[in-house]
Amino acid sequence: MTGKRYSTATAVALICAATVLTAPGTAFASPASAPASPVKPPAEPTPRTDKSLEEVRKEIEDLYHDAGVATDAYNAAEEKADKQSEQIVKLAKDIVEGQAKLKKLKARAGAAARAQYRNGGVPDEAKLMLSDDPGRFLDGAGRMRQGEKATKGLLTELERTQDDLRVYAEDATARWKKLEANRKEKAASKKRIKKKIAAAEALESRLEKKERERLRKLEEAAALKKQSAWVSSGVLKDIGGKATPAGKKAIAFATAQIGKPYVWGAEGPGSYDCSGLTSKAWAAAGKGIPRTSQEQWKQLPRVDVKNMRPGDLIIYHSDASHVGLYVGDGAIVHAPRPGRDVTIAGAGSMQILGVVRPDK
């Protein structure tokens, strides 16, 4: 990949956080002692220097990083809630089936009790036992043993079914409590995400147009600096792995999403967050992987950076709050952050935590 490619496409990946900076106030000069002198117009805002804009950039980076962490928590809670809902539905079906079975068993037990009552409390088998006919006696003895066995089996099955229903109900209650807890966790994460993103957007909206342009150039320059240092380390000399057929499919899916906006919690088809893009890319390749970047880091097999190949996932930051899909030639495709679109970026333009392989 050429240096030009790194200086443009790679830079977009750098922003993973944002923060608020108060715009400088305006100054007025209106001396009370000056008789009849006209009021001076507001002074022009002092232009920000590159140094102050760099501080803004870092604050923005921190804010969007925090929003990314909260997004991962939101996605994890959503994934748990989906699984728990499925489990509760299954338990509900088991309870309905168990209740129907219990009803039938109770009907059978009731029929046996009524038959015994009609015979004066003496079962037909017992009457046969009292017969003087040896053949009928032996036949009655066998039927009595069968009857006792059947009755015992009925009572055992009845008791077991009742126990199953009790366990199903307790399990459903416990899972429902966990579901509610996860919903609260998801709501809290959603609040944190909105707060961080709103603060970042408010900060950026206070900048003059020229300042926003300079800010973006600073973002690109910072990303390029990190990417250049990563490439200069010689790491690409050791990376020569080839994509597997599944990896090629994942790359094809991910790169086809270039230009679509980042939206937290989104999994397509019109928008994505970082792990929404990577999980859907590998789903398109026929491989299900965890939904969040943190779970992808925890659960998927890890490989050394020098051994990575196109299709692998690169996990970023010490808290595994960002992920991109390696496409080869020192580049990734990823969904950077709110306000940015899915794009190609330098694989070393952010702090690399490690590499995981979905199809190892």
pLDDT for 32 equals: 42
pLDDT for 41 equals: 52
pLDDT for 213 equals: 87
Q: Which of 16, 65, 274, 317 is catalytic?
A: 274
Give yes or no: 274 in active site.
yes
- Tell me the pTM: 0.61
pLDDT for 143 equals: 53
Picking from 275, 265, 325, the residue whose alpha carbon sits closest to that of residue 295 is: 275
Residues near 245 by Cβ (< 8 Å), separated by ≥ 6? none
Give yes or no: 322 in active site.
yes
pLDDT for 115 equals: 65
pLDDT for 24 equals: 37
Residues of the chain with pLDDT under 50: 1-36, 42-45, 129-130, 137-138
pLDDT for 100 equals: 78
CA distance 39 to 42: 9
pLDDT for 68 equals: 87
Picking from 168, 161, 153, the residue whose alpha carbon sits closest to that of residue 101 is: 161
Give yes or no: 16 in active site.
no
